[in-house]
Amino acid sequence: MVEFLVSNFEAILFLIIAALTVAAGVGVIALKNPVHAALSLLTTFLMVAVLFVIRHAEFLAAVQVMVYAGGIMVLFLFVIMLVNVKGVRPEGAFMTRWAPLAIVGGVLVGALLALLVLLGVLAAGSGDPTALQTVDGKVVGNTEAVGITLYTTYLVPFEIVSVVLLVAMIGAIIFGRRDAGLERPSGEAGP
């Protein structure tokens, strides 16, 4: 029994973390309290990062934690805090007559995704993880390989995307800012 656990430790750990990820994902849609659902989403993000570490994708795990568990969750929590959840009528929140169709559709989409994943696993065979860790024939770590490729081969597209994101951020700040001179007087009607 101990030999089985030791020889299959990575697979067992993967299955346990995958089950926790799926349970946390179900909690996102099953929990009624929005804060609890957001915490369940945070757990899902962190478990996905652990799955990336198990599969030796440390860079993706770090990005998962920084971007999703950090930035996106802060955004979700701000939205939850700003929206008046108590003002929403509970009876109009769900479309109960479409629930059976949604369940059948969800099961069909889940079965299709499971089939695609199974076909992808069967077609992939055994991959060589060292192939992702070589740059110009030199063996480097996973994160180093991503960095070298990003800042040499893809430097210009990387800089273009950074400028586009900067312009989008400046535009969001300009449109989101409320100047006192731009607001209408309280008696004036809007369009």
Structural domains of the chain, with CATH:
8-86 (1.20.120.1200), 128-177 (no CATH)
Q: What angle do CA 180, 87, 38 make, to 5 degrees?
A: 90
Answer with the residue of higher pLDDT: 77 or 25.
25
Answer with the residue of higher pLDDT: 169 or 180.
169
For 64-75, what is each residue's pLDDT tens digit? Answer: 998 888 888 888
Average pLDDT, the chain: 80
pLDDT at 127 over 80: no
Check if the beta carbon of residue 138 is closer than 8 Å to that of residue 129: no
pLDDT at 140 over 60: yes
> Per the confidence metrics, is the pTM higher than 0.75?
no
The stretch 86-94 carries a mean pLDDT of 58
